[in-house]
Structure formats: structure tokens, C-alpha cells
Structure 1
């Protein structure tokens, strides 16, 4: 199985998935060709735009013989957005929730490799029939800055991605199924305005009586809302670093949970004109993120309500009023910048 030059080890448990998603060389995501918002998407990019759900992962020999039973129980979505950005989230279904006060370092280490997440621009080589994911950030810090190249075949609603073959000729095939767009009868004006990709801009917090509260900022992050009615979010804290060894220690695994947050699933919209109970003075209603999967296993299967303020250029999301460490009621506003469709 091919591995990226900056990513030279299969992850335990999630190995097939991570190896598939982590083949290639290395390059900064800002260097991705064709990433300018002014340049239209290529025909190859456009045919990939949409939401894809994970169907199966196969390993085959050089003679195309199946080397093991296909993996068909992984949960995941791959979103290619019309802005030229992509995000992937994949989760093993049998993850054990953290303890009430967790995660502990040991719990974090036990879950390492059971969830995959990364994001960045994507480009397509129409001649070679290959798509490259220019990774801006990844749950596993060794993936950041890499280029993950895989050949693809697209037949009707099925997309198969294949990294270059291994030294012995063996190959990994990951098949995704395109998710249909929401029926027009279910699409509101808010849906239409919301669909797209957004980059994190800033986070602000204040008490309910108006006093500002200091809050840490994210280094980078994206949120995707797809016409299929699915979403995914990827948020990265500053100060992340590669592991000291080939695999993380328990403390390094715990650090991953503290510096990278992600979840995915369907979303729904509740419009509320003149919302007087919303936490923000200009909130237009709320979105509900229905979590199919999350970096935190305790989040899987839960709902996250986010009051929203949406304009042509940005999106502000506010969770319900919360309580900070000092016992004060606080309002948090997460502002996202819209990425232009190409």
C-alpha cells in the first residue's frame, strides 16, 4: 500500500481508511494549483462536486484478487464543494464513549485511528483521471501539508478512489455513493443561501449582560453545508505538532482531542423571523446538526443547535446560552467567511 512521504505508517484499526486517504507527496495547501476563487472549476472538478457516503473499502492483489473481506461498516462522508474545497470524515462504528470526565490520556490513545478527518483544496487531472486533496489540516498532524493523490472512476452514482499501487502491486479501492440533493419541496430560502463552504474567521464571547469574555481562537477550520442536506465541520487549534515517534503517546493522543474537533451528519433548518428568544439580536432562526459521527464518541447520535445569522459574505453561528468556568451565563458567536463558488 502506497504511503505519503510525510506519512509513513498505517494507523491501527483505521489503517485501510487512513492509508487510502494519505497517499502522495507533500505540499502546502496554499500552493494547490487552481485554488484561486477567480478560476472556474474544471470539468473534472465539477463532476465530483457533491456529497458522497462511504460504501466499502477493498484491498486487492496485483492480479485483482480480493485480499480480505471488504470493509462495509465504516461511516463517513466526502464532500466536494463548488468552491474547490473538500472535507472528509470517516468513523469506525464500534467506538467506546469517553468517561463522564474524559477523555483521559489512555482513552484518547485507545480511540486513536478510529476517526479520520481532513480538509483542503482539491484539484483534478483530467488526463490522468486523478484527484488530489491538498491537505490544509488533518486530525492526524502528520497529514497536514501533504498532497493525497488518487485515481478515480465514476460510474453513475458510484465514485471509486484508488491511491497508487504498493510495491507488490496491491491496491486499495474505496467506493463512495453520491447522495441525492434534497427534494425541492424541502428546500427553503435559507437552505439555498446556506449551501456552500465557509472558513473560520473568529470566535467572540460575552456575558448575557454585555461584558466581553476572553476566548481562544482557532488557527483554521471549515464548515460545509451540502445540497444533499449533509454537513461537516473541522476546527483546528494552534500549536499542533507531529508525534515524537512513529505513533502517539497517550499524552500526544490526548492533545489531538484538545486541538482538533470534527463532526458530520444531516442538518435541518428552522427559520424564525423576528426571533426574540435567540441569543443574537439579528439571529434568523436555528440550524440543527444531527451528529452521525464526531471526534468525541459521546457526541455521536446527538443534536447540536446553532442559532444563525446569514449574509452574502459570512455566517455567524451561536450555540444556546451556556455557563463559563466562573458560573456566568455567556453567549458565544462563531463567525465564518463564505468561500466563493467557482
Structure 2
């Protein structure tokens, strides 16, 4: 039986976007926090957020004015679903996502393993009106 190298919990080391012109950006800031989990039963989950997210004025989890909620959504992304490995790609079959346009959509991630790290990159995606590729490095926890 071949061991699935993906299985486990991964902590985000770096996340950058690269534009077609080579320009780099860091959508959640330099101190981005994230975890990625792949389970042996074929499910996965990921959460990525800015490390310095402002708190809501109230402690009620369902509270927040429009600005607070907009900032919270803009500084956070998560999704989960099943995954499958095909060649040099891991395909995330998204079942739930903060970004509703990704629900029931497959997201391809090109991967490479080096030592205890996993590198994932996307095909070009639209971010802030520009086609960019995301490049993420994860370390095994």
C-alpha cells in the first residue's frame, strides 16, 4: 500500500500571490496564519487568515456592524470537502467555503514535497481584478 504523504496537519509557512508581471503581494499580510488538514478518509479542510484581525466591539458571535463583518470576511478564507490526487495535482472538491463561488467547484493545486514541507500552487485565479497564482508553503505539524 502506498502511503498518502498528504495525510496530517500542516501549518502555513508562507503565502504569496504572483501576478503575470511577476509582482508579488501578500493578501493576508506578512504574518498570515493557516492550517491545512488532510484526512485518510479523503476529506480536507483549510483555514487562512491575517494574524492581526481587529475584534468586534461586541462579544456576541452573531453581532458586528457592516464594517466589522466586511473586514472579518476580507481577512479570512476557509473551505473543506473531499480531495483526490492526480499526478502532480491534488484536487479539492469544495463542499463548504467562506467564498460562496467556490462551493461545488473543484480547485486544482499543483504540489511538491520537500523534507517536511508541502508546496501548493494554483492555476491563475482572479484576485483584486487581476489574474494571479497563489503559492503556499506548509510545514508538517
What range describes the TM-score normalised by the shorter chain of this pair?
0.7 to 0.9
- Matching residue of 1:158: 117
TM value normalised by structure 1: 0.35
- Matching residue of 1:116: 77
Distance between the aligned counterparts of 2:13 and 2:30, measured in 1?
Answer: 6
Tell me how far 1:109 sits from its aligned partner: 1.9
Gapped regions of structure 2 (runs ≥ 5): none
- Matching residue of 1:51: 9
After superposition, the Cα gap between the structure-2 partners of 1:119 and 1:154, relative to the gap in structure 1 and judged at 3 Å, is: same
Is 1:80–2:38 an aligned residue pair?
yes
Distance between the aligned counterparts of 1:141 and 1:169, measured in 2?
Answer: 19
Gapped regions of structure 1 (runs ≥ 5): 1-41, 180-342
Distance between the aligned counterparts of 2:18 and 2:102, measured in 1?
Answer: 24
After superposition, the Cα gap between the structure-2 partners of 1:43 and 1:163, relative to the gap in structure 1 and judged at 3 Å, is: farther
Report which structure shows greater RCO (CA 8 Å, sep ≥6).
2
Distance between the aligned counterparts of 2:82 and 2:94, measured in 1?
Answer: 7
Is 1:173–2:135 an aligned residue pair?
yes
Distance between the aligned counterparts of 1:145 and 1:79, measured in 2?
Answer: 19
Distance between the aligned counterparts of 2:15 and 2:31, measured in 1?
Answer: 9
- Which has more helix, going by share of residues? 1
Distance between the aligned counterparts of 1:112 and 1:177, measured in 2?
Answer: 25
After superposition, the Cα gap between the structure-2 partners of 1:52 and 1:72, relative to the gap in structure 1 and judged at 3 Å, is: farther
Tell me how far 1:61 sits from its aligned partner: 5.8
Tell me how far 1:106 sits from its aligned partner: 3.2
Distance between the aligned counterparts of 2:119 and 2:112, measured in 1?
Answer: 5
Tell me how far 1:114 sits from its aligned partner: 1.1
Tell me how far 1:117 sits from its aligned partner: 1.2
Q: Please give the residue correspondences for 1:178-327 in structure 2 after superposition, counting only pairs within 5 Å.
A: 178-179=140-141
How many residue pairs align between the two structures?
132
**SS of 1:135's equivalent?**
strand
**SS of 1:98's equivalent?**
coil
**SS of 1:48's equivalent?**
coil
After superposition, the Cα gap between the structure-2 partners of 1:116 and 1:62, relative to the gap in structure 1 and judged at 3 Å, is: closer
After superposition, the Cα gap between the structure-2 partners of 1:59 and 1:109, relative to the gap in structure 1 and judged at 3 Å, is: closer
TM value normalised by structure 2: 0.80
After superposition, the Cα gap between the structure-2 partners of 1:43 and 1:162, relative to the gap in structure 1 and judged at 3 Å, is: farther
Tell me how far 1:110 sits from its aligned partner: 2.7
**SS of 1:136's equivalent?**
strand
Q: Is the 8 A contact 1:55 1:72 kept in 2?
A: no
